[in-house]
């Protein structure tokens, strides 16, 4: 069976949930082979094997010193050397760029923001606010597929993984842009937005920079907090929490939209959520077309009641 390369997302050696989802999707296609960049591959070997990785290709941390290009050179080299069936990455902004560059090097095609993948590499996309599902397949070369976090449920399938050190000779172009500083965003008590099972987002309807009505409901649910661009542009919430076309893409089990109209650009970042609950005082708000459950009302009345009720039941 051909190998399917999976670029591992990890923070300080801890494998992110999305990688376990990618390994699950990779198993449908072939033998998952994790590609680890940086230190700590041996320590993470067991976790990767738990989700079916039979190989862990470990590459030098030096690749992280440069902006995206070295990762693409590594993935393209491995894909060719190992005759891989496909390359899977998470659909983060950085990895989508890695995916595009890798596909160019392989002379193949790239599919991004994929929400599901079949054994014969047909990729599913959800578009127009989830109203349309499209299917696409790369017809030439080794397909490179960027899969959205929280799209494919992770299922363990224990395997034995061996670690193999790999190296790539970086081109001058790959080392042209060097990372000079990394700013680690403060890690709050809440789950990371793109990985969270529940997201509670606030929009212009919140009405001020006092986002506590959103945060209180999020904390009652153990959720991450998100925001619409209108709320971010108003300076009410930091921009790393923006959900949408120009923000983060989320796909949680539950997405709660408080005072968000449901503009197409906002939908682009949350339309694949499994359950959508909207609270909006306008019964005609477009978010209700997308919502599984809708409450027409003032969020400042509805959300605190919901928070109180959830806290009572805990």
Is position 199 an interface residue for ligand FAD (rule: CB under 6 A)?
A: no
Q: Is 47 annotated as ligand-binding?
A: no
Positive or negative: CA dihedral 263, 266, 268, 274: negative
Is position 190 an interface residue for ligand FAD (rule: CB under 6 A)?
A: no
**Residues that contact ligand FAD, how many (by CB under 6 A):** 28
Q: Is 305 annotated as ligand-binding?
A: no
Residues 21 and 51: beta-carbon distance below 8 Å: no
Q: Is 264 annotated as ligand-binding?
A: yes
Q: Is 271 annotated as ligand-binding?
A: no
Is position 247 an interface residue for ligand FAD (rule: CB under 6 A)?
A: yes
| Phi, psi of 34, rounded to the nearest 5 degrees | -80, 140
Alpha carbon distance 174, 176 (integer Å): 6
Q: How far is CA 129 from CA 19, 100, 134, 229, 290, in A?
A: 26, 24, 12, 17, 7
Is position 230 an interface residue for ligand FAD (rule: CB under 6 A)?
A: yes
Is position 298 an interface residue for ligand FAD (rule: CB under 6 A)?
A: yes
Measured from the CB atom, the residue of 274 and 281 that comes closer to ligand FAD is: 281
- Position among 60, 64, 175, 245 found at the interface with ligand FAD (CB under 6 A): 245
Measured from the CB atom, the residue of 32 and 269 that comes closer to ligand FAD is: 269
Strands of the sheet with 254-258, listed across from one edge? 224-227, 198-202, 254-258, 275-280, 293-296
The total number of residues shown for the chain amounts to: 314
- Position among 246, 253, 275, 305 found at the interface with ligand FAD (CB under 6 A): 246
Q: Which stretch binds ligand FAD (CB under 6 A): 77-85, 109-117, 215-223, 227-235?
A: 227-235
- Position among 265, 275, 305, 311 found at the interface with ligand FAD (CB under 6 A): 265
Closest approach of ligand FAD to the CB of residue 307, in Å: 15
- Position among 229, 237, 252, 273 found at the interface with ligand FAD (CB under 6 A): 229
Q: Is 259 annotated as ligand-binding?
A: yes
Is position 295 an interface residue for ligand FAD (rule: CB under 6 A)?
A: no
Rounded to whole angstroms, the maximal C-alpha distance in the chain is 60
SS3 15: strand
SS3 245: coil
Residues 181 and 238: beta-carbon distance below 8 Å: no
Residues 84-103 that bind ligand FAD (CB under 6 A): none
Alpha carbon distance 1, 310 (integer Å): 49
Interaction site with ligand FAD (CB under 6 A): 203-205, 228-231, 242-247, 259-261, 263, 265-266, 269, 279-282, 285, 298-300
């Amino acid at each position: 069976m051909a190998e399917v390369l999976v670029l591992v997302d990890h923070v300080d050696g801890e494998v992110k949930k999305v990688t376990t989802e990618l390994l699950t999707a990779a198993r449908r296609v072939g033998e998952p082979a994790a590609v680890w960049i940086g230190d700590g591959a041996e320590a993470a070997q067991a976790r990767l094997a738990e989700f079916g990785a039979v190989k862990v290709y470990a590459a030098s941390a030096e690749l992280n010193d440069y902006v995206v290009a070295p990762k693409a050179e590594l993935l393209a080299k491995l894909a060719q050397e190992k005759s891989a069936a496909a390359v899977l990455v998470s659909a983060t902004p950085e990895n989508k760029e890695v995916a595009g560059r890798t596909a160019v090097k392989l002379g193949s095609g790239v599919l991004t923001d994929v929400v599901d993948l079949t054994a014969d590499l047909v990729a599913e996309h959800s578009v127009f606010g989830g109203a349309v599902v499209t299917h696409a397949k790369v017809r030439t070369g080794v397909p490179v597929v960027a899969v959205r976090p929280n799209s494919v449920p992770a299922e363990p399938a224990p395997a034995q993984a061996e670690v193999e050190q790999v190296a790539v000779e970086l081109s001058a172009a790959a080392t042209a842009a060097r990372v000079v500083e990394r700013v680690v965003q403060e890690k709050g008590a809440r789950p990371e937005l793109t990985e969270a099972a529940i997201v509670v987002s606030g929009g212009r309807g919140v009405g001020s920079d006092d986002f506590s009505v959103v945060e209180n409901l999020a904390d009652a649910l153990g959720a991450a907090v998100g925001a619409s661009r209108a709320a971010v542009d108003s300076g009410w919430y930091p921009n790393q929490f923006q959900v949408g076309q120009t923000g983060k893409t989320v796909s949680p089990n539950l997405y709660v939209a408080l005072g968000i109209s449901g503009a197409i650009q906002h939908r682009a970042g949350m339309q694949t959520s499994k359950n959508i609950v909207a609270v909006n005082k306008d019964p005609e708000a477009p978010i209700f077309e997308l919502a599984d459950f809708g409450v027409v009302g003032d969020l400042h009345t509805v959300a605190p009641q919901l928070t109180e009720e959830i806290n009572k039941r805990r």
